[in-house]
Amino acid sequence: MAAVCHGPVLLPGVIDADTGKSIIDGKTVTGFTVEGEVVLKVLDKLTSDRVALVVDAVSKAGADYSSPMHPFDDYSITGRRLITGANPASARSAAERALTAFDELPTAQARDSQ
């Protein structure tokens, strides 16, 4: 599974059938930064609309949030078969990581997932 920018805010709702926990529980993920929201001057609006910030949503689900050095740097993370990217600049590196993760799946598992 892969998500970039604000997409990781959805991951806490993806539940592992075996554990009953979010698939990001105990994993390190990234997504759009609070600093990025400040730079874009949307943090107050998001807060007033009660929109979950990525860092808050993933932390609440038991994940460790990792941010890029600067909010718009290309920054992506692979955690086994979970790939996350911090922002639009990370889309390519996250996609490349997703392809690598898919290529590393055992053949039968790759065939079953089609």
Q: How confident is the model at residue 106 (pLDDT cuts 50, 70, 90)?
A: confident
- Does the global pTM surpass 0.95? no
* Total length of the chain: 114
The pLDDT assigned to 110 comes to: 47
CATH number at residue 26: 3.40.50.880
Kindly name the residue from 5, 35, 70, 96 that is annotated as catalytic.
5
pLDDT in tens, 15-25: 999 999 999 99
Query: What is the tally of structural domains in the chain?
Result: 1
Rounded (5°) CA angle 56-36-80: 55
Domain region containing 66: 2-112
Kindly name the residue from 6, 35, 70, 96 that is annotated as catalytic.
6
Token readout for 11 is: 């991951």
Burial zone of 94 (CB within 10 Å; 0-12 exposed, 13-18 middle, 19+ buried): buried
Name, in order, each residue with C-beta under 8 angstroms of 25's C-beta and a sequence gap of 6 or more: 16, 19, 61, 62, 63
